Structure 1
Amino acid sequence: MRTRLALTALALATAVTAGVAASATAARPDPVRQGLETLLHSDGAPGALASVQGRDGLVRAYTAGVGDLDTGAEVPRDGQVRIGSVTKTFTAVVVLQLVGEGKVRLDDPVETYLPGLVRGKGIDGRRITVRQLLQHTSGLPDYEDDVTDDILQRRYLSPRDALDVALRHEAAFAPGTKWGYSSTNCLVAGLIVQQVTGRPFAEEVDKRVIERVGLRHTYFPAAGEIAIRERHPQGYRQDRPGASPRNVTEIDPSAAWAGGAMVSTNSDLNRFFSALLGGRLLAKAQLGQMRTTVSVGAPGYGFGLGIMSVPLSCGGVSWAHSGAIPGYGTWAAATDDGRAASVTMTLEPKTNQAVKHLENAVDAALCR
């Protein structure tokens, strides 16, 4: 998901006495809550929720709006949500673990692991490397728009079927010549994981990531599983601008697979990104490869292997990924000094403005 960063600075009037200064500070609006309110009032989300982890390890949970338009129920604190493309960071971690084990090599062609499978108009798995898949420099065409109806109508689509959909399109560009986001990259990466390990991709994610760092509310949905398992806000979608949001909580995310099918909570995402940056999931060499970025065309932003470098308004960078899927939009990020934040809106973000507002809310949380 392509993004831009724009954060409105909050100003505090200068006080002449310590008492006045303390009063002004106490009265200052919470920037994270303001960010959630923007998602409601500017972007039309019925609800929003967030989890923020400070340098001191203190965790704060936020909610705004309503969790169910029909009943008026509150948004559950730290409820489960579909995280969409934030799944891609989990996928990249599994691939890089296999690199560390010597079972996959980043600069090997896809053909090494999936012989004869990745072929199409201008598409040749012999010319695309594993690194280019995770970096989105492969030129593989995106297939997301083609499978939205399958997801909404709860039709199961196997990874091979989804790849067939993607390969009907022409290559977006020659491998390695530019950056272009495409979920097809993670689809192929997931197939490589299965081929190399001989195990279902979901099982590898569970064993290598979810169980390793104790993500108690994160899972990869089983085939045909359309409901969200634990307490959660309802997810909505606008079919056209100005239309009333319709409930799309129960979908079949199988078509999104290794690029977007997972369910998690905001606090679990904070735990995941913190563990990743803290070296608990990848060896130093592989984490270094993950954080080696290419330009995405926006000043200050870079994309590594399944993760994005995002400039912060208060200086420095966060390491992040965003995700959109029918029902939900999420932005999750962490910093090297222990800060982490994840924000979700309960409406599929379809505009750059909505995505920017998600990013702004996370920036506000990390810079508070």
Structure 2
Amino acid sequence: MSPMPQAAAGTDRPELRKAIQEMVDSGFVGVQLRVNDERGEWVGTAGARELGGTAEPPANGYVRVGSNTKTFTAALVLRLVDEGRVGLEDVVADHLPEFGLDRRITVRMLLQHTSGVFNFTGEYYEDGTFAPGIPATNTGREWVDNRFRTYRPEELVRLALSKPARFEPGTDWNYSNTNYVLARLVVESVTGRSFAEEMHRLVLGPLGLSDTIVPGSSREIPEPHGHAYYRYEEDGEERTVDVTRHNPSWISTGGDMISTTRDLHAFISALLGGKLLPAHLLTEMCTPETKAGYGLGVMVQKVGENGGTVITHNGGMAGHAALMYSTPDGSTTMTAALNYVDDATLSMAVAFQQATQRLVSEVFGGGKAGPADEPTA
């Protein structure tokens, strides 16, 4: 039996306590939730820190935030646009000539996933076929066996470029981690400094995000944290291993960063509140393309019967996941950290979608459910 959800002192939010307990009941090991709105800040936890354990998740524990890394990366690139170091319409090949990129690909296309470049973690096609990339979390034991390997970002890009493009640049939309590894390399090319240094200079430092980490190839995650797990088959038997420690260079800036629910709240509220970017660049960021509703490192979604808008990005990362939602002005936010048992078939995907839909409807839609977004890995 799961421990009852724990909540911070202050206004009780039984609907939120119920929602996170239902997430645990649906299969998540543990949940940390933080909501900031006109009623103040509410923080709650449910479930366990470790599989089979009784200790509750830390209320502000560290988590691998997965594809929320893309929002941080897009914000960094836009800060460099504001500095005049790079332009959204710049030809990426001019900054990275060593890759022989299609010269139609622009910096904007990287941030908006409209470049057409193959996703180095593998591509799922409309006919149901799958084209593998590196040993990622969709490959079962192969990922487990390779989880401490170091990948260079150039290696990930070259693998992706050895595969056929999904479409001609700018003609369609397809979520590809390769776009954001290329964005990382553009940052390093135009500044002459490492991605981590620039992230600290232009995003983490100015916002005081001292608990947000660009890990590089480090296997470690600071305490406290919930534990992450991965399930796979070996010799006909199902095995579950603790993968909290692993080398995240396999995903690079597609999803490697570590943060907390408090820092995610501080980041998205400051970003959308205009404290990081000038108004015209924030508008660019939050203007979605038409197929998937993706802006520049964020998704723009309608919620509730009244059609309110949220700006969001979620991310799953080998048994850790993070949610980040905000109203367009940054005044109401919801951030969460999840720990669970991941596997090659993404068996928690449906529960993830249902849980996010429920939470978003409670916080932003007046309890009236709107569309759930797809999990982004």
Which TM bucket (shorter chain)?
0.7 to 0.9
Q: Which has the higher contact order (CA 8 A, sep 6+)?
A: 1
Q: Secondary structure at the match of 1:84?
A: coil
Q: How far apart, CA to CA, are the structure 1 residues paired with 2:354 and 2:325?
A: 14
Q: How far apart, CA to CA, are the structure 2 residues paired with 1:226 and 1:358?
A: 29
Aligned to 2:222, which of 225, 229, 235?
Answer: 229
Q: Secondary structure at the match of 1:250?
A: coil
Q: Secondary structure at the match of 1:318?
A: strand
User: Deviation at 1:211?
Assistant: 1.3
Q: Which residue of 1 aligns with 2:158?
A: 164
User: Deviation at 1:68?
Assistant: 1.1
Q: Which residue of 1 aligns with 2:352?
A: 355
Aligned to 2:205, which of 192, 204, 211?
Answer: 211
1:291 partnered with 2:286? yes
Q: How far apart, CA to CA, are the structure 2 residues paired with 1:76 and 1:244?
A: 26
Write the deviation string for residues 187-230 of structure 1: whole angstroms up to 9, x where unpaired.
0000000000101101111121111111121111143x112113
Q: Secondary structure at the match of 1:74?
A: coil
Contact conserved, 1:49 with 1:63, CA < 8 A, in 2?
Answer: yes
Aligned to 2:302, which of 299, 308, 311?
Answer: 311
Q: Which residue of 2 aligns with 1:345?
A: 338
1:141 partnered with 2:118? yes
Q: How far apart, CA to CA, are the structure 2 residues paired with 1:228 and 1:69?
A: 18
Cα-Cα RMSD: 2.2
User: Deviation at 1:245?
Assistant: 4.5
Aligned to 2:277, which of 278, 282, 285?
Answer: 282
Moved more, 307-316 or 185-194: 307-316
User: Deviation at 1:292?
Assistant: 1.3
Write the deviation string for residues 241-289 of structure 1: whole angstroms up to 9, x where unpaired.
x956532101110121112110001121011000000111111111111
Equivalent residues in 2 for 1:240-259, closer than 5 Å: 245-259=240-254
Q: Which residue of 2 aligns with 1:332?
A: 324
Q: Which residue of 2 aligns with 1:3?
A: none
Contact conserved, 2:29 with 2:51, CA < 8 A, in 1?
Answer: yes
Write the deviation string for residues 137-184 of structure 1: whole angstroms up to 9, x where unpaired.
110111124242567521111111111222222101111111111110
Contact conserved, 1:32 with 1:362, CA < 8 A, in 2?
Answer: no
Contact conserved, 2:77 with 2:187, CA < 8 A, in 1?
Answer: yes
Change (3 A) 1:245 1:33: farther
Q: Which residue of 2 aligns with 1:69?
A: 51
Q: How far apart, CA to CA, are the structure 2 residues paired with 1:339 and 1:205?
A: 25
Change (3 A) 1:29 1:216: closer
Q: How far apart, CA to CA, are the structure 2 residues paired with 1:102 and 1:324?
A: 33
- Name the amino acid aligned to 1:285: H
User: Deviation at 1:34?
Assistant: 2.8
Change (3 A) 1:46 1:216: same
Q: How far apart, CA to CA, are the structure 2 residues paired with 1:169 and 1:90?
A: 27
Q: How far apart, CA to CA, are the structure 2 residues paired with 1:208 and 1:257?
A: 19
Q: Secondary structure at the match of 1:102?
A: coil
Q: How far apart, CA to CA, are the structure 1 residues paired with 2:252 and 2:24?
A: 29
Equivalent residues in 2 for 1:58-97, closer than 5 Å: 58-69=40-51, 71-97=53-79
Q: How far apart, CA to CA, are the structure 1 residues paired with 2:97 and 2:242?
A: 41
Contact conserved, 1:91 with 1:259, CA < 8 A, in 2?
Answer: no
Q: How far apart, CA to CA, are the structure 1 residues paired with 2:289 and 2:301?
A: 12
1:36 partnered with 2:20? yes
Write the deviation string for residues 307-354 of structure 1: whole angstroms up to 9, x where unpaired.
110112263111000101102122211112600001222124825413
What count of residue pairs does the alignment treat as equivalent? Answer: 328
Q: How far apart, CA to CA, are the structure 2 residues paired with 1:40 and 1:73?
A: 14
Q: Which residue of 2 aligns with 1:131?
A: 108
Change (3 A) 1:337 1:84: closer
- Name the amino acid aligned to 2:244: T
